[in-house]
Structure 1
Amino acid sequence: MTSTTQVTDVLLDRAQGCLLGVALGDAMGMPGELWPRARVLAHFGWIDHFLAGPDGHFVVDGYQAGQVTDDTQQTMMLAEAILDAGGDVRAEVVARHLVDWADRVGASEGNFLGPSSARAIGKLRDGADPRTTGSGGETNGATMRIAPVGVVRASDDLEALVDAVVEATVMSHDTDVAVAGAALVAGVISAALDAPEGAGLDGLVETGYRAAEIGLGRGEKVVAASVIRRSEVARRIAEAATDDDSFLQELYETVGASVATSETVPAAIGLLVRGEGDPVRVAILAANLGGDTDTIGAIATGMAGAVSGASRIAPDLAGTLLSVNRIDPLGLAERLVTHRR
């Protein structure tokens, strides 16, 4: 299908900001990945620039300052899969690209794959139908790579957007909470790309909630807290906190920062609101939260990048991300947005 969207400079800037924001939040949050908040504070003090992975870290030991993790890699993978399918989101194509990526980087041999993705990739390698391999997937791997869906699907048809979310996630995370979380984030990104100049965050987040409600009707029913209700709690914490440190502590203790979708997505919404959609500020806040900092940072900063655009990310930060990782999120976004409909 051909695009029905006129690619303006503003739309392109926001699309590029989204994918560049994923990488920014991922790399800024990488050093403290999966450390408790107290350990992040004790080891780093306050993170406000790219840092190398700490010596002895069980995942990111040896990573360079500015290096991204599988969050960005899988986001780029999904973008390539969508482009490979001519702008469509097809589960079979995404599954093939997912396995190819995992084999290329040796993902199954390290410690960075989440449990749902690792299990699904193993089944896919054995030839299983990708529409059957995502049972029980409740963790945040679906949401961490979902940004390209928000770039290629417009927010005026949320049913179609959620259909695309399902196609992008069913092979690894075929549960209602995972689909709802990914739909919420894709909905915010899509609405941000469509928003008029000066639009506030509230309307964008509400669009995300509507997409999440649709997503709750998809996938296997599991026991999990509502990503919508918990996101509302995170928003209230963000709005009421008197300073960033107390905000982060309250968010960590009340909403949580684990790999569970029901914690990751609400935490990301809280960070987006507290950072007022500024991608650099959101990335810094996420890095200091503790918990799954790289993934939460990738998700929150991807949304913030879609709100504010790549032009709000300092050239030195963008340059480091591109040179250290040899990725091209700006080019991918430019290609993706031509398929937006």
Structure 2
Amino acid sequence: MMENRILGAFYGQALGDAMGMPSELWPRSRVKAHFGWIDRFLPGPAENNAACYFNRAEFTDDTSMALALADAIIEHQGAVNPDTIGRNILRWAEGFDAFNKNVLGPTSKIALNAIKQGTPVSELENNGVTNGAAMRASPLGCLLPTHNLDAFIDEVALASSPTHKSDLAISGAVVIAWAISKAIEGRNWETICDELPSVARHAQEKRVTTFNASLGARIELALNVARTARGTESGMEQVYHLVGTGTSTIESVAAAIAMVELAQTNPNRCAILCANLGGDTDTIGAMATAICGALHGVESIDSKLKRELDDVNQLDFTRYSRLFMGYRQQREPQNERQ
């Protein structure tokens, strides 16, 4: 069952990313005017300078970087090694020609250029607050049990450090990874929501590096917006205008939590709602739908959509779920393993 949830998180990440790709970084009004309503995989439109490089059902840098992180963890047999993570992300970026395309966030681009010049990850400042760490955090949720919050935050911070070291970026990555990990452990969504604001606050205050609004408070606002909305369309409007759907961690991570709630944790519905939201649709979709997939397991992913993802991307996600299940069991406290 746990391995099914891990597999659900990997597929959810790819599903939300690929569904949200065509509309990424467009205002909500333009998404509506151009697409009407997105309810299936579509190619990136030529006029979208972030999505134009991708065909139908292809995922973007969000999932590519998540898999670069996952591959680095596999290379170190379940351990987090920031220099290998940075090297893997750089290898993907160069292979995709990402430096010359509008797909890398500003924080990641600066960090990867420094890594390219041979700077060790430990020497990089990386104090940006964009969502590049949170968007790739789903494998960390699959890897790390939640019995020790401080240890969990430290591992997520280490994995985020090749591109993001700021308090806010780490807090966002912790929130997404924690929600996924709790889901994999079998907790229900309501229980997870109750914990997330305090988890976010603890992570953000552990080593303060920026002046920023509280992610914990923004998550509380986001959940309140989703729960009091008069219908889905009104809820999406409120998330867009009040919570925000931009590329900053403070907006996109809180928006992702709101979208899980609005979709009532259904991964297929979540991917579709995020694609129509406006803003950083692929990233919000990747984070939110990974949580939904972890909550309900891979069987909850629509078989037609799953088949399209498999056919187009030619990836064996079951290899990841099997290996990560083993690494996770090694990290469980002794008494929980028996």
TM-score by length of 1: 0.93
2-structure distance, mates of 1:139, 1:117: 9
Q: Secondary structure at the match of 2:205?
A: coil
Q: Which residue of 2 aligns with 1:99?
A: 90
2:315 maps to 327
Match 2:99 to one of 95, 108, 122: 108
- Which of 69, 74, 77 is residue 78 of structure 1 equivalent to? 69
Matched, 1:24 2:12: no
CA contact 2:172–2:253 (8 Å) conserved in 1: yes
In 1, distance between residues paired with 2:129 and 2:13?
21
- CA–CA separation in structure 2 for the residues paired with 1:62 and 1:77: 19
Report the equivalent of 1:41: 32
C-alpha distance after superposition, 1:205-231 (max 9, x if no partner): 234334323321345511222111111
Mind listing any 5+ residue stretches in structure 1 that lack a counterpart? 1-9
**SS of the residue 2:123 aligns to:** coil
How far residue 329 of structure 1 moved from its aligned partner, in angstroms, is 2.5
- Aligned partners of 1:19 and 1:330 also within 8 Å: no
Please give the alpha-carbon distance, in whole angstroms, between the structure 2 residues aligned to 1:150 and 1:186.
4
> Partners of 2:236 and 2:49 in 1: how far apart?
24
Gaps of 5+ in 2: 332-338
Q: Tell me the residue number matched to 1:3.
A: none
Which of the residues 222, 226, 247 maps onto 1:234? 222
- Looking at structure 2, the residues matched to 151 and 270 of structure 1 have their Cα atoms a distance apart, in angstroms, of 21
2:265 to 260, 266, 277: 277
Aligned match of 1:6: none
Report the Cα distance in structure 1 between the residues aligned to 2:70 and 2:206, rounded to whole angstroms: 22
Q: Is 2:250 the partner of 1:262?
A: yes
**Equivalence for 1:222:** 210
Contact residue 81 and residue 94 of structure 1 kept, 8 A: yes
- Is the contact made by 2:188 and 2:295 (CA closer than 8 Å) also made in structure 1? no
- Once residues 152 and 313 of structure 1 are traced to their aligned partners in structure 2, the CA distance between those partners, rounded to angstroms, is 21
2:286 alignment counterpart? 298
**Deviation of the 1:202 alpha carbon:** 2.0
In the alignment, which of 153, 164, 168 is matched to residue 155 of structure 2? 164
Residues 192 and 306, structure 1, Cα contact 8 Å, conserved in 2: yes
CA 1:14–1:226 in structure 2 vs 1: closer, same or farther (change >3 Å)? same
Contact 1:116–1:134, Cα closer than 8 Å, also in 2 = no
For this pair of structures, how many residues does the alignment match? Answer: 329
Query: What's the counterpart of residue 154 of structure 1?
Result: 145
- C-alpha RMSD of matched pairs (Å): 1.3
Gap change, CA 1:250 and 1:156, over 3 Å in 2: same
Deviations 1:57-99 (A, max 9, x none): 2122252211110011001111101111110112122122122
**155-164 vs 80-89, which moves further:** 155-164
What SS does the aligned partner of 1:221 have?
coil
